[in-house]
Chain A
Amino acid sequence: MYIDPHVHMVSRTTDDYQRMALAGCVAVTEPAFWAGYDRSSPAGFFDYFRQLTDFEPKRAAQYGIRHHTWLCINPKEAEDPVFAKEVIALIPQFLKCETVLGIGEIGLNKNSRNELEILDAHLALAAEHDLLVLVHTPHLEDKLKGTRLIMDAIKNHSKLDPGRVLIDHVEEHTVRPVLERGFWAGMTLYPDTKCTPQRAVDIFEMHGTERLWINSAGDWGNSDPLAVPKAQIEMKARGHTLDSVKKVSFDNPLKFLSQSGRFRIA
């Protein structure tokens, strides 16, 4: 049994839901993200938010998987602050949906001033509505700097409790500072970029299993929606206890997400 707390199911086929269910997935959470192209109007986001809050939970339910979501405009589309703020203004009307857990995945992409401005606007919205926050950290060479900028930006919002913020896509060079500053941390299991299942298990062995989870972040790119059960297999093959496997792939996401008051498993 497992939870995939970060997966972009709008980009996956129904067959993937079936395979995930067969592998033991009982719940997913899906952050709003970049579609691979820039939307031409805020109305495009309105429709995307309807897909995330209405259609996708029904599709998941056919396989006994509970679907939840996070709303935002992804940092990849934050370089135009006027456009981004129009999208952010759409979010409050969706917050009444029972499957919306919080704001995400917000953060930085190229660590620009405009991205920081939009990150701050999202954080203010989360603080105003007392919402959980799911943070995307930048790719590759931009991750270290971006993670530092993001943590500083969050600390500027005194209403945001680090224990209600998960900073995702950590790797060996960012996991320790994220945990030391009181945040939760997520490891994304990707074939080429981010962590492999083997490296994620190495990180558990080096840094423990407190406030850490794993996810597939399966999307339209090179990714694997079965990455979480593959990491479970890696842990078991190394001789880790079943309790440890369950803690990182089920108990920890359940503990963090339950702070929303809305997270349910099938």
Chain B
Amino acid sequence: MSATPPPLSKRAVVDRYFLEHRAKVLDIAAFLDRFDRAQGDGADDYRVTALRECCAVLLDGKPDRARRVLELLSDHSAEPIAKAPMKGATGAMELQKKGAI
């Protein structure tokens, strides 16, 4: 597993990807604003809590952000469950169900 340095310089990475990711940050900001404006139940939805935790990972200055965000959103329990409750997945885990991190 030999890593290869990215051929692009830091400046070239910014030139190529900045606008795309500026838009994605705005999408997250607008989603959180939309969530705040919305009425009714769901204020404590675990998925929004998880998303806020992911945002903190982006700003902690440490490497491997993508891996750590995925781990933060993952089930860390080890044993198989008794029966599948559904076919789909929600994209995040409730904190109390996350298992041992």
Residues of A within 8 A of B (CB): 34, 76, 79, 109-116, 138-145, 148-149, 171-173, 176, 179-180, 198-199, 202, 204-210, 237-240, 244
In the assembled complex, 27 residue pairs joining A and B whose CB atoms fall closer than 8 Å, in A order, are A110-B85, A110-B87, A110-B89, A111-B75, A111-B81, A112-B82, A112-B83, A112-B84, A113-B83, A116-B80, A141-B74, A142-B74, A142-B75, A145-B75, A145-B78, A145-B99, A148-B78, A172-B70, A198-B17, A204-B4, A205-B4, A208-B1, A208-B2, A210-B1, A238-B16, A240-B7, A244-B4
Q: For B70, what are the chain A residues with a Cβ–Cβ distance below 8 Å?
A: 143-144, 171-173
Q: A112-B82, A145-B74 are in contact. List 11 more A-B contacts (CB 8 A).
A: A79-B83, A110-B86, A112-B80, A116-B80, A141-B90, A179-B1, A198-B17, A205-B4, A205-B6, A238-B6, A239-B7
Measured between beta carbons, the chain A residues less than 8 angstroms from B89 are 110, 138-142
On whether the beta carbons of B66 and A172 are closer than 8 Å, the reply is: yes
Are A143 and B74 in contact, CB atoms less than 8 angstroms apart? yes
Contact, CB under 8 Å: B67 / A173: yes
Residues of chain B with a CB closer than 8 A to A145's CB: 74-78, 99
Which secondary structure dominates where chain A touches chain B? helix
Distance in angstroms between the alpha carbons of A199 and B70 in the assembled complex: 13
**CA A141 – CA B64 in complex, angstroms?**
18
User: A207 with B3: in contact, given A111-B80, A172-B64 (CB under 8 Å)?
Assistant: yes
- B16, B78, B92: the one contacting A141 at CB < 8 Å is B92
**B53 to A: closest C-beta gap in Å:** 13
> A238 and B7: CB pair below 8 A?
yes
B3 to A208, Cβ gap below 8 A?
A: yes
Tell whether B27 is near chain A: CB-to-CB under 8 Å: no
What residues of B have a CB within 8 angstroms of the CB of A141 in the complex?
Answer: 73-75, 89-93
A139 touches B88 (CB 8 A): yes
Which residues of B have CB within 8 Å of A237?
16
Residue with the highest number of chain B CB atoms closer than 10 Å, among A173, A206, A209 = A173
Q: How far is the CA of A148 from the CA of B67 in the complex (A)?
A: 16
Residues in B neighbouring A244, C-beta threshold 8 A: 4
- Inter-chain contact A206/B87, CB cutoff 8 Å: no
* Closest 7 pairs (CB-CB, A-B): A239-B7, A110-B84, A144-B74, A140-B89, A172-B67, A173-B70, A139-B89
